[in-house]
């Protein structure tokens, strides 16, 4: 039997509203991490973002391309204190967004951390699709990942799966 | 706790009207289907993906398309997810490639999907699509069908279905 290469590290389902969810004490046993977040909706309106190891410094940057009804665009950021995943589109109470985020070489201590994110939703409220590349300017191994919002809170039912990929 | 291959299907000589996975095991969290496809005709229409035999207008999608010289965003509702692959006029032996991801495929909620796909023709044309989709059906995904209406998938087209759990 082949060696499993895509391991489920942890899962969480929001039982009540929360402004952030953190996976902590992540072992450095894999090459990459993949965070899959589904059924994302807000109490009112959220813009999901990431932080690593609780770092609140301006150590995050990103570039993205996005499509939505009627237009398409590209955007980039300067340095930020959190890494917004769909900065030009919020997710509302009727939202149903999905995020698939690959964090590369997360345990390496000789490089800044890169990530690739795919996200989007198609609901009667709004539909959008994003491809994003991001960087956390730190050589520290990632031991915690926080999925958070700038304002408001995620509604109950949001589902999180964190996987490790062997490499 | 793995990314486990359920099945790989390869189209044989003469082509096939579709590739279909049925009786998909219900013990995973997410599904991933990797497709290498080519059509037997020159028609430009793309391949489609249908879930659990649902032929209703329950497939919603937002596309971001890059052509190398421009970008566009389209979307809509249809009776299957509208995707793309290489037609027969593209360079011989080239295939379009796609990753089709279904989240929480056994849940009793409607399903979100993500698609990355590319096709390329001898450096003269290239397309990349990023798709966020929604299957507006609360049934579990028990079957996945890849087809091109009015056309066949060419020999050596392949699809591999994985479950993540």
Nearest Cα of chain B lies from the Cα of A125 at a distance, in angstroms, of 13
Whether B129 shows a pLDDT value over 70: the answer reads yes
Go through the domains of chain B in sequence order and give each one's CATH number. Answer: 3-164 (2.60.120)
Evaluate whether residue A23 is within a structural domain.
Answer: yes
C-alpha dist (Å) from residue B109 to A142, B57, B140: 32, 17, 8
Structural domain tally of chain A?
1
Contacts B64 to A, Cβ<8 Å: 65-67, 72, 129, 131
Chain A CB contacts of B61 below 8 Å: 122
Substitution target from A30, A94, A98 for chain B, most B beta carbons within 10 A? A98
Kindly determine whether residue A39 and residue B109, on different chains, have CB atoms separated by under 8 Å.
yes
Burial B30-62 (b: 16+ CB within 10 A, else e): bbbbbbbbbbbeeeeebbbbbbbebeeebbbbb
Contacts of B63 in chain A (CB under 8 A): 67, 129
Is residue A144 pLDDT above 70, yes or no? yes
Q: Where in the sequence is the domain holding A106, given as residue range(s)? A: 6-165
Instruction: Name the pLDDT band for A2 (thresholds 50, 70, 90).
Output: low
Q: For residue A45, is it within any domain?
A: yes
pLDDT of residue A36: 95
Residue A1 in domain: no
**Amino acid A155: pLDDT:** 97
Q: How far apart are CA B65 and CA A39, in angstroms?
A: 25
The ipTM assigned to this model is 0.78
CB B117 within 8 A of CB B128: yes
d(CA B103, nearest CA chain A) in Å: 7
Share of chain B above pLDDT 70, in %: 97
Which chain B residues contact residue A122 at CB under 8 A?
60-62, 75, 132-134
The per-residue pLDDT for B12 is 97
Q: What is the pLDDT of residue A9?
A: 94
What is d(CA A141, CA A131) in angstroms, rounded to the nearest whole number?
24
A89 belongs to a structural domain = yes
Q: For residue A1, name the pLDDT band (cuts at 50, 70, 90).
A: very low
Query: With 80 as the cut, is the pLDDT of residue B124 above it?
Result: no
Q: Which two tokens stand for residue B155?
A: 């020999």
Which tokens sit at A94? 């009727």
Specify the pTM.
0.87
Q: What is the CATH number of the domain that holds A43?
A: 2.60.120
């Amino acid at each position: 039997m082949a060696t499993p290469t895509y391991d489920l590290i942890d899962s969480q389902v929001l039982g009540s509203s929360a402004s952030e969810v953190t996976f902590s004490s992540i072992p450095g046993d894999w090459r990459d991490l993949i965070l899959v977040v589904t059924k994302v909706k807000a109490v009112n309106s959220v813009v999901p973002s990431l932080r690593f190891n609780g770092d609140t410094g301006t150590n995050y940057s990103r570039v993205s391309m996005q499509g939505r009804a009627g237009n398409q665009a590209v955007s980039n950021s300067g340095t930020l204190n959190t890494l917004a995943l769909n900065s030009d589109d919020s997710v509302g109470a009727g939202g149903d967004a999905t995020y698939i985020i690959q964090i590369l070489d997360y345990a390496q201590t000789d490089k800044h951390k890169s990530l690739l994110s795919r996200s989007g939703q198609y609901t009667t409220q709004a539909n959008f699709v994003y491809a994003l590349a991001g960087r956390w300017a730190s050589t520290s191994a990632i031991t915690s990942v926080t999925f958070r919002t700038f304002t408001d809170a995620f509604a109950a039912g949001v589902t999180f799966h964190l996987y490790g990929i062997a490499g | 706790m793995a990314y486990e291959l359920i099945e790989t299907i390869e189209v044989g000589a003469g082509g096939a009207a579709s590739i279909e996975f049925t009786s998909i095991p219900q013990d995973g969290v997410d599904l991933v289907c990797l497709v290498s496809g080519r059509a037997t005709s020159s028609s430009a229409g793309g391949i489609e993906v249908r879930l659990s035999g649902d032929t209703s207008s329950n497939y919603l999608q937002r596309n971001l398309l890059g052509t190398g010289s421009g970008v566009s965003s389209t979307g809509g509702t249809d009776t299957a997810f509208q995707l793309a692959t290489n037609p027969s006029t593209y360079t011989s032996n080239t295939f379009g490639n796609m990753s089709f991801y279904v989240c929480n495929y056994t849940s009793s909620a409607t399903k979100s999907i993500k698609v990355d796909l590319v096709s390329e023709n001898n450096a003269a044309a290239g397309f990349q699509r990023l798709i966020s989709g929604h299957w507006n059906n609360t049934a579990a995904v028990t079957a996945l069908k890849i087809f091109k209406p009015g056309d066949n998938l060419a020999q050596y087209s392949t699809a591999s279905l994985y479950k993540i759990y």
